[in-house]
């Protein structure tokens, strides 16, 4: 049986000795999509409860027997300084308001509680909590400690420090119900990241993935929100949309940068109001699905060009996972290459091939515009052609022969940008430095070094022999 997703993920604590007020507030919260709360009628029990139970915020009445709310506020601020506290009272005394704010209250609302003001104050407090969570996550990016749940990231093969920073960040933000924007170049593994976020969130519903690229507004609405019977010609039966299938789970929308402006409005409503309207329906339906979106485009630039709504952009940017390209994580090649060779060998019914060490300098001098997806395709192509026991380099040479080489700095990096002092080097000295640099960058691979500087292998070998240059 599916569990209901808690909103917020930690409970809202109501502290008021008037049970009628508590019940009225609870009804208001339920009607407006909140379903996680605790209530206490005796102010003496609050601190002990907070010591035992983490909460998202406290809605605290001032006028109570035993311990007044303003006194209790002082204790909460001392022991739980990051916990937002919203004060409520029938008094609208300016001195009381100012006093509570000086003591550390997050906000102050007067009774009878206005539904609009109450909900706005609660949402502001939850937003601040998310910002604090975000700051904690950003600090966690610099941590070198072990992951709490490495099993959530098993699909992503990496030993790269930047990727582990991303994993730490995901662990921190995963329990949040706020949207997540995953950005990165084509092929960096954005869907894998969405799966890790879903696993780490502890949500019991499904992860439902939708690629929204190329969907016009009607198809987008039908795909996400579904339709009722007779909603349009040919709609003989009602159909649930992907949002409903993601109930208590996660909805992953890929290629979000391609979404039309009209569809962006509907997505914004889903994010803001947590509700949607199936095609042909008159009554909105509620959604508790967590939204994750991904793009390889620069959304900030699209906002400037009026191709993407600014309000939707900021709503989606609640949490941002930026995945590095493969060229920034070449230390993962010794893990990724054998992994893909194993997969390809199994797919083609071959014995696992040996990976020659000469392959890595080839790969490390390539830009990889298609990132890990491109690496996988290259390796599968090479394995499919191979007849011996060792992975050959010919298919890689063919692929790189028509591709742009990324000049990876080597040991001679100080010479990577040509500059001249007062005394010019001789042509002979320049040639020697160029050849040594190319050999350093290619890891001693003469064929690749020759290609980097526009020589044939034979010409470079002859030059090395004449000048007694040995492979580093």
Residues 232 and 340 in one domain: no
The answer as to whether 293 is a domain residue is yes
Does residue 99 register a pLDDT over 50? yes
Which pLDDT value is given to residue 401? 66
Which pLDDT value is given to residue 418? 62
Placement of tokens 């930026």 in the chain = 322
Which pLDDT value is given to residue 49? 92
Mean pLDDT of 394-400: 83
Does residue 198 register a pLDDT over 90? yes
Q: Tens digits of per-residue pLDDT, 286-318?
A: 998 999 999 999 998 899 899 999 989 988 988
Higher pLDDT, 76 or 443: 76
Which pLDDT value is given to residue 139? 58
The chain-wide mean pLDDT, for the chain, equals 86
Residues 335 and 457 in one domain: no
In angstroms, rounded to a whole number, what is the distance separating the alpha carbons of residues 197 and 176? Answer: 10
In angstroms, rounded to a whole number, what is the distance separating the alpha carbons of residues 248 and 204? Answer: 6
Which pLDDT value is given to residue 274? 87
Q: Per the structure, how many domains does the chain have?
A: 4
Domain's final residue, options 76, 109, 132? 132
Do the Cβ atoms of 169 and 321 come closer than 8 Å? yes
Does residue 410 register a pLDDT over 70? no
Token code pair at residue 160: 């790269």
Which pLDDT value is given to residue 422? 60
Residues 357 and 445 in one domain: no
Q: Tens digits of per-residue pLDDT, 334-343?
A: 999 999 999 9
The answer as to whether 70 is a domain residue is yes
Please state, in angstroms and as integers, the Cα–Cα distance from residue 164 to each residue in 42, 186, 190, 191, 466, following that order: 45, 20, 15, 17, 47
Domain's final residue, options 70, 98, 132? 132
Burial 390-419 (b: 16+ CB within 10 A, else e): ebbbebbeebbeeeeeeebebebeebeeee
Q: Tens digits of per-residue pLDDT, 377-390?
A: 999 999 999 888 89
Does residue 436 register a pLDDT over 90? no
Domain's final residue, options 401, 426, 457? 401
Does residue 1 register a pLDDT over 50? no
Look up the domain containing 34 and give its range: 12-132
Residues 370 and 458 in one domain: no
Please report, for the domain that includes residue 66, its CATH number: 3.40.50.2300
Residues 196 and 311 in one domain: yes
Which pLDDT value is given to residue 416? 45
In angstroms, rounded to a whole number, what is the distance separating the alpha carbons of residues 69 and 18? Answer: 13
Mean pLDDT of 87-111: 81
Which pLDDT value is given to residue 141? 53
> 420 falls in which pLDDT band (50, 70, 90)?
low
Please report, for the domain that includes residue 379, its CATH number: 1.10.8.60
Which pLDDT value is given to residue 417? 55
Residues 158 and 296 in one domain: yes
In angstroms, rounded to a whole number, what is the distance separating the alpha carbons of residues 5 and 450? Answer: 60
Least confident of 123-127, 255-259, 396-400: 396-400
In angstroms, rounded to a whole number, what is the distance separating the alpha carbons of residues 371 and 155? Answer: 16
Which pLDDT value is given to residue 55? 92
Q: Tens digits of per-residue pLDDT, 438-447?
A: 888 777 778 7
Mean pLDDT of 255-277: 92
Task: Detail the DSSP E strand segments found in 377-432.
Answer: none
Mean pLDDT of 168-182: 89
Residues 341 and 258 in one domain: no
Q: Which of 123, 66, 76 is nearest to 104 (CA)?
A: 76
Does residue 412 register a pLDDT over 80? no
Residues 193 and 75 in one domain: no
Does residue 404 register a pLDDT over 60? no
Mean pLDDT of 223-231: 90
Residues 215 and 282 in one domain: yes
Which pLDDT value is given to residue 421? 63
Residues 84 and 127 in one domain: yes
């Amino acid at each position: 049986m599916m569990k209901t997703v808690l909103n917020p993920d930690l409970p809202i604590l109501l502290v008021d000795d008037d049970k009628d007020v508590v019940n009225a507030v609870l009804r208001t919260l339920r009607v407006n999509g909140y379903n996680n709360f605790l209530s206490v009628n005796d102010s003496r029990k609050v601190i002990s409860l907070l010591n035992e139970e983490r909460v998202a915020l406290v809605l605290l009445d001032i006028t109570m027997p035993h311990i007044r709310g303003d006194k209790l506020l002082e204790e909460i601020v001392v022991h739980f300084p990051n916990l937002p506290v919203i004060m409520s009272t029938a008094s609208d005394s300016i001195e009381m308001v100012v006093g509570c704010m000086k003591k550390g209250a997050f906000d102050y609302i007067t009774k009878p509680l206005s539904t609009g003001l109450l909900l706005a104050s609660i949402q502001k407090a939850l937003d601040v909590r998310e910002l604090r969570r975000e700051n904690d996550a950003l600090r966690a990016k610099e941590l070198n400690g072990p992951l709490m749940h490495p099993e959530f990231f098993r699909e992503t093969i990496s030993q790269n420090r930047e990727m582990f920073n991303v994993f730490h960040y995901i662990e921190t933000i995963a329990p949040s119900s706020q949207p997540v924007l995953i950005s990165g170049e084509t092929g960096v593994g954005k869907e894998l990241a969405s799966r890790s976020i879903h696993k780490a969130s502890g949500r019991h519903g499904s992860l439902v993935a939708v690629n929204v690229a190329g969907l016009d507004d009607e198809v987008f609405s039908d795909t996400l929100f579904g339709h009722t019977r007779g909603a349009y010609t040919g709609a003989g039966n009602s159909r649930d949309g992907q949002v409903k299938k993601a109930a208590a789970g996660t909805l992953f929308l890929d290629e979000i940068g391609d979404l039309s402006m009209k569809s962006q409005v509907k997505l914004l409503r889903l994010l803001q109001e947590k509700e949607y309207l199936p095609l042909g329906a008159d009554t909105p339906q509620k959604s508790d699905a967590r939204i994750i979106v991904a793009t390889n485009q620069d959304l900030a630039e699209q906002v400037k060009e009026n191709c993407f709504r600014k309000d939707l952009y900021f709503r989606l940017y609640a949490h941002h996972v930026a995945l590095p390209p493969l060229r920034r994580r070449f230390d993962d090649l010794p893990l990724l290459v054998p992994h893909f060779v194993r997969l390809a060998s199994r797919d083609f019914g071959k014995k696992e091939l040996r990976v020659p060490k000469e392959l890595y300098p080839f790969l490390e001098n390539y830009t990889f515009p298609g990132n890990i997806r491109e690496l996988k395709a290259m390796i599968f192509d090479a394995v499919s052609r191979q007849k011996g026991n060792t992975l050959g380099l010919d298919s890689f040479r063919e692929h790189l022969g028509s591709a742009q080489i990324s000049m990876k700095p080597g040991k001679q990096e100080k010479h990577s940008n040509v500059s001249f002092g007062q005394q010019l080097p001789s042509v002979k000295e320049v040639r020697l430095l160029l050849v040594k640099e190319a050999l350093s960058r290619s890891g001693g691979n003469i064929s690749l070094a020759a290609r980097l500087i526009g020589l044939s292998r034979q010409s470079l070998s002859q030059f090395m022999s004449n000048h007694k240059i040995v492979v580093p």
